[in-house]
């Protein structure tokens, strides 16, 4: 039996230090962000602030619900806000797509020196990235987790190809400036 370890390149945590880190997740896109969140939580004093904006289709679709309610919403250096597309009976939180909680009135952020990380469905990533650019984040400080079908894991089969890159070995984490001109970025 063989075991394959993590593939590709991770988030550049050293580049995040002493900065505000905005994490935008959609649906099950929070799952790949979980390890990043734990790494940030492990050394919270190294970052100015950690902001999490997370959206799902319904309250039942929110992943890590218990962790979100209990642990992740505590502390002065952590700002957590959730939204759902369809609230339904009993939901008292925000209703709307995740970009609604990236607006000026719901997100106070440092676009001059902060970094943003986005992971979720491609359409959510596209519109979240456009909103972050509109807010003033430079393309080189927006990090996207470009999850693709990684069959071989070593850049030979081409299933995870993204322009000149292979998500399995060159990513899956890319700064937006690297992929912004690739037509298949949001596929």
pLDDT bin (cut points 50, 70, 90) of residue 78 is confident
Check whether 118 has a pLDDT greater than 90. yes
Give the pLDDT mean for 48-68. Answer: 90
For the cut 90, the answer to whether the pLDDT of residue 183 exceeds it is no
Biggest CA-to-CA distance, the chain: 53
More confident residue, 116 or 8: 116
**CB distance 81 to 109 below 8 Å:** no
Please report which confidence band the pLDDT of residue 132 belongs to, taking 50, 70 and 90 as the band edges: very high
CATH of domain 13-147: 3.40.50.80
Q: What's the chain's average pLDDT? A: 89
Dihedral over Cα of 93, 107, 78, 115: its sign? positive
Mean pLDDT along residues 81-109: 93
Q: Say if residue 73's pLDDT is above 70.
A: no
Check pLDDT > 90 for residue 95: yes
Query: What was the pLDDT predicted at 55?
Result: 95
- The pTM score is 0.91
What is the rounded average pLDDT of the residues 37-59?
93
Cβ burial of 60 (10 Å; 0-12, 13-18, 19+) is exposed
């Amino acid at each position: 039996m063989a075991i394959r370890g993590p593939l590709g390149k991770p988030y550049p945590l050293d580049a995040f230090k002493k900065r505000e880190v905005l994490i935008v997740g959609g649906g099950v896109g929070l799952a790949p962000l979980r390890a990043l969140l734990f790494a940030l939580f492990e050394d919270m004093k190294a970052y100015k602030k950690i902001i999490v904006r997370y959206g799902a289709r319904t309250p039942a679709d929110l992943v890590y619900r218990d962790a979100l309610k209990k642990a992740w919403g505590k502390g002065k250096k952590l700002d957590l806000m959730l939204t759902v597309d369809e609230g339904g009976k009993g939901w008292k939180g925000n209703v709307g797509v995740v970009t609604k909680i990236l607006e000026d009135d719901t997100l106070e952020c440092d676009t001059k020196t902060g970094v943003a990380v986005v992971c979720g469905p491609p359409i959510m990533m596209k519109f979240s990235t456009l909103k972050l650019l509109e807010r003033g984040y430079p393309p080189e400080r927006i990090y996207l987790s470009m999850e693709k079908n990684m069959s071989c894991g070593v850049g030979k089969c081409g299933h995870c190809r993204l322009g000149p890159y292979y998500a399995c070995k060159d990513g899956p984490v890319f700064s937006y400036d690297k992929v912004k001109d690739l037509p298949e970025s949001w596929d």
